Amino acid sequence: MHSASVGSLLFKDLAEYYDKLERVSSRLEMIKILGEMLKELDKNEIADVIYMTQGVLAPPFESVEFGIAEKYMEEAIAIASGRSKEAVHGYYKNKGDLGIVAEELMASTKLKRMGQRQYTSREVYDVMRKIAGTSGEGSKSTKIKELAGMLASTTPLGARYIARYPLGQLRLGLGDATILEALSVMATGTRDVKDRLEAAYNMCSDMGLVASTLKEHGMEAIDKFKVTLFKPIRPALAERLPTSEEIIKRMGGKCAVEQKYDGFRCQIHKDGKKVRIYSRRLEETTDMLPDVVEAVRSEVSAERAIFEGEALAFNESTNEFFPFQETIQRKRKHGVADKALEMPLHLFAFDVMYLDGKDYLGKPYKERREALEGMLKNPSRIRPSTMILTDSPKKLDEFFEESIENGLEGIVAKDLAAPYIAGARKFSWIKLKRSYRGELSDTLDLVVVGYYLGRGSRAEFKFGGLLCATYNEKNDTFETVSRIGSGFTEEQMKELRESLNKIRVAKKPVRVDAVIEPDFWVDLKYVVTVKADEITRSPTHTCGRKKLKDGTEVGYALRFPRLVGPEAIRSDKSPEDATTTKEIEELYSQQKKVGLKE
């Protein structure tokens, strides 16, 4: 028996669950096993084990990185298994998975395990967290020593996950929806309370907190979750429609129409002078945006507020927006302060969720907008998004054209009566972008589910292309929609090959729905941006797959797909943020309407 402070579940037993999760063949089984695992945990350890299972140390907004390079892990494995560094490295090159290397080498190591105590899951988490906080001189050897100690304090199977966890390569194939359903199973034996758990999660973005609250206080406490300063709310997302007529029809008449800005989405939390900014992925970006922080302090009249806007480079002399390339420079690690002076970002605020003790999430748009305008007394660098109210498609079109002329992306129409719908894509916000009106020139964000080896002239890169999927929100699955073989620079091929090699998995991930096989399957981790000429029907892919009258089954596929943009991997999007199957279906029907051939 272990005391409560170190937790009760031994890491070797957690590893058994992880191994089972890797082996299951259906999502339902996955939820069942995860539910059983969660049941075994007590209230003091469940949050940490949840983070571990998500492959992180903390929720995204806490920005805690592991700070462990593969080289460190190789050295730790060498020490723990009594092999040379070179031998471990060679073995890794051969296997492509340090987890398997650790497992196999530890299994063939004659350790004097007699009397050695097994680490609990909580202890492993605590050591990982301690290592993450270690920096400076001598930190490398401390980290390696601690890692080696952990590898030796568990079973070979446990060592597999100790090696993978801090490298971000757990390969369990889980997503938020899977974990929420498993928590529901833990609490009730059914998936019935998933939506209530999700509502709480949407308000705090902290799965560990949801789990520990549930464990300790039950569903009653889950239903009482409220927005809290410095815990970001999961952002509302916009649906899309192709024409102003359809937008007005769907809105049922009069709606708000706002300019759509292409910059960084910022969720801003303010308590007096304390200001924190979170990205769309809920990572803290405060340090990147000192000018926005300053503007919040001087221009927001509310003492305490949570509000949202888009930050972008804006030329005050000419009243013009700079292109996105100027804004994106802020992502650099260095010279942020200089850049902020040279070209301060402007914030176009478009929503408010909390204001001086009052929760606005459930309030209708109209009321939120009034509150937003009210809290910006002397707008200069922060101003409310430009907005009109209309029920006329013609007016909407004029406003849209004007936005495009001003260098913006398009517009977002908003339902005047709708609350702020956290964490979901709903028709209370509908976007219209230039590109939908004609050909498929809008880009798609697709999840990489597998890749192909290079052949012919690509052989030397050992990279031939990607197998990509859309996200099916309804089923929490990923459906293949395209193989992408072009648009890569040599550098991108190298980057993709290296990154994907590290997350290879032995079989198709449970949440992937596919009828074709890539050379290698990978864990669900990366999103890429893709452009294509059109969407076609195809028997090769499972995206939106339906049985036709003649009995054949077809899905959607992309014609002439190619990778776009400077970044091969979209670091600002997670797999569940990818283009959905539903969006592909809509784009397909829009494409038909504008007369593109099938």
Window 43 to 72, contacts with ligand AMP (CB under 6 A): none
Identified binder of ligand AMP from the candidate list 64, 87, 229, 238, rule CB under 6 A = 238
Structure tokens at 255: 């709606």
Name 465's Cβ contacts closer than 8 Å, sequence gap at least 6. Answer: 451, 452, 483, 484, 485, 486
The answer to whether 431 contacts ligand AMP (rule: CB under 6 A) is yes
Checking DSSP bridges between strand 320-321 and strand 304-315, what pairing results, if any?
Answer: antiparallel
Catalytic, 260? Answer yes
Catalytic residue among 260, 363, 525, 531: 260
Helix axis angle, 70-81 to 139-151, nearest 10° = 50
Give the whole-angstrom CA distance, residue 427 versus residue 240.
8
Nearer to ligand AMP, 58 or 388 (CB): 388
The answer to whether 436 contacts ligand AMP (rule: CB under 6 A) is no
Q: How far is the CB of 392 from ligand AMP (least distance, A)?
A: 19
Binding region for ligand AMP (CB under 6 A) out of 259-267, 356-364, 388-396, 526-534: 259-267
3-state SS string over 174-235? CCHHHHHHHHHHHHHCCCCCHHHHHHHHHHHCCHHHHHHHHHHHHHHHHHCCCCECCECCCC
Nearer to ligand AMP, 168 or 364 (CB): 364
Residue 73 near residue 166, CB atoms below 8 Å: yes
Q: How far is the CB of 264 from ligand AMP (least distance, A)?
A: 8
Residue 387 near residue 256, CB atoms below 8 Å: yes
Give the whole-angstrom CA distance, residue 351 versus residue 370.
10
Identified binder of ligand AMP from the candidate list 231, 234, 260, 483, rule CB under 6 A = 260
What amino acid is encoded at 271 in this protein? Answer: D
Element of type H or E holding 88: helix 85-95
The answer to whether 412 contacts ligand AMP (rule: CB under 6 A) is yes
The answer to whether 368 contacts ligand AMP (rule: CB under 6 A) is no
Binding region for ligand AMP (CB under 6 A) out of 260-268, 289-297, 298-306, 511-519: 260-268
Closest CA to 559 of 520, 522, 530: 530
Q: How far is the CB of 352 from ligand AMP (least distance, A)?
A: 12
Give the whole-angstrom CA distance, residue 163 versus residue 199.
34
Nearer to ligand AMP, 51 or 261 (CB): 261
- Which residue is at the shortest CB distance from ligand AMP? 265
Give the whole-angstrom CA distance, residue 291 versus residue 283.
18
The answer to whether 74 contacts ligand AMP (rule: CB under 6 A) is no
61-80: buried (b, 16+ CB within 10 Å) or exposed (e) per residue?
Answer: beeeebebeeebbbbbbbbb
Structure tokens at 219: 């569903």
Identified binder of ligand AMP from the candidate list 27, 171, 231, 265, rule CB under 6 A = 265
The DSSP-derived string for 413-429 is EE-TT----TT-EEEEE
Q: How far is the CB of 261 from ligand AMP (least distance, A)?
A: 4
Q: How far is the CB of 385 from ligand AMP (least distance, A)?
A: 4
Nearer to ligand AMP, 280 or 346 (CB): 280
Identified binder of ligand AMP from the candidate list 45, 258, 513, 523, rule CB under 6 A = 258
Q: How far is the CB of 445 from ligand AMP (least distance, A)?
A: 9
Give the whole-angstrom CA distance, residue 416 versus residue 214.
34
**Largest separation between any pair of C-alpha atoms in the chain:** 80
Give the whole-angstrom CA distance, residue 219 versus residue 208.
15
The answer to whether 310 contacts ligand AMP (rule: CB under 6 A) is yes
Window 13 to 32, contacts with ligand AMP (CB under 6 A): none
Q: How far is the CB of 577 from ligand AMP (least distance, A)?
A: 9
Q: How far is the CB of 336 from ligand AMP (least distance, A)?
A: 20
Structure tokens at 160: 């597999």
Binding region for ligand AMP (CB under 6 A) out of 28-36, 110-118, 258-266, 464-472: 258-266
Please name every residue paired with 470 in a beta bridge, in sequence order, or none if there are none: 479
Distance of CA 364 to the CA centre of its chain: 27
Name 83's Cβ contacts closer than 8 Å, sequence gap at least 6. Answer: 77, 91, 105
Binding region for ligand AMP (CB under 6 A) out of 74-82, 119-127, 256-264, 533-541: 256-264
Residue 470 near residue 446, CB atoms below 8 Å: yes
Nearer to ligand AMP, 350 or 451 (CB): 350
Identified binder of ligand AMP from the candidate list 169, 202, 285, 385, rule CB under 6 A = 385
Q: How far is the CB of 473 from ligand AMP (least distance, A)?
A: 14
The answer to whether 280 contacts ligand AMP (rule: CB under 6 A) is yes
Nearer to ligand AMP, 320 or 553 (CB): 320
Nearer to ligand AMP, 280 or 483 (CB): 280
Give the count of residues interacting with ligand AMP (CB under 6 A): 11
Residues within the interface to ligand AMP (CB under 6 A): 238, 258, 260-261, 265, 280, 310, 350, 385, 412, 431
Catalytic annotation, residues:
260
